[in-house]
Amino acid sequence: MEKEQNQKFDNDLSQEKENDKISSNKNRETPQKENEVKIETQEKNLEETILELEDKLARTFAEMENQRRRFEKEKEDAFEYGGFSFAKEALNLIDNLERSKQILQSDETLKNSEALKKTLEHFDIINNDLISVFSKNNIKPIVSLNKKFDPNFHQAMMEIEDNEKEPGLIIKEIQKGFTIKDRLLRPALVGVSKKSETKIVKNEENKDNLKNK
């Protein structure tokens, strides 16, 4: 009897030790798992932070590249067209020469005189020299007379009735236009041909007569 009790006591003690061991192992595993989860979360946050920084860095490099390209374009434009305003102002010289010629030519006291002839010749020489200097700097006059009206290069100041010309044809140049390289420096001021009202009415009548036949 006593032996059985001792055996039971030993078994209970052994079971208790086993339970303590399991409990101890569980207690050790819980902090370990918590640490593993914590480390995994930190690693995930670190990856997200790295991805975010990489995205910001890529955006910064893209913006820097765009700024570099804008700067290069502005520098190129400044080099190519830096004299745009000066060239536009310089065109006044040609305009003033042309106005002076017209004033002298309309002066009755100078008509058919040798003095007028020589003066106009000098004006033409100066004008040709100016055009030559402009041309060397890629400033060229726009050819307008007898050309089709183009709003990119011409500005219509008047319409002129002319039944011999095709409508929309430039038949008068009021002020010469110029380009600088591939840009418009100033448009040519022109007069454009149109059919007379009488001609238009007659054409309409002819069309009606043909329909009625």
| Domain boundaries, given as residue ranges, for the chain | 1-81, 82-137, 141-213
CA-nearest of 188, 164, 189 to 178 is 188
Q: What is the pLDDT of residues 150-195, one digit of tens each?
A: 999 999 999 999 888 889 899 999 999 999 888 899 999 999 999 8
Cα distance between residue 22 and residue 205, in whole Å: 117
Q: Describe the strand order of the beta sheet including 170-175 as a list of residue ranges.
A: 154-161, 188-194, 170-175
Beta strands 154-161 and 188-194: pairing type?
Answer: parallel
Percent of the chain residues past pLDDT 90, beyond the cut: 21
Confidence of residue 11 (pLDDT cuts 50, 70, 90): low
Which tokens belong to 81? 């067209």
Instruction: Judge: domain 141-213, CATH 3.20.20.70.
Output: no
Confidence of residue 59 (pLDDT cuts 50, 70, 90): confident
The mean pLDDT value for 55-78 works out to: 73
**Average pLDDT, rounded, for the chain:** 77
143 secondary structure, DSSP code: P
* Residue 9, pLDDT above cutoff 90: no
CA-nearest of 91, 121, 108, 50 to 186 is 91
Q: Which of 10-19, 56-65, 144-153, 156-165 has the lowest mean pLDDT?
A: 10-19
Confidence of residue 125 (pLDDT cuts 50, 70, 90): very high
Cα distance between residue 199 and residue 136, in whole Å: 46
* Residue 110, pLDDT above cutoff 70: yes
Instruction: Tell me the pTM.
Output: 0.55
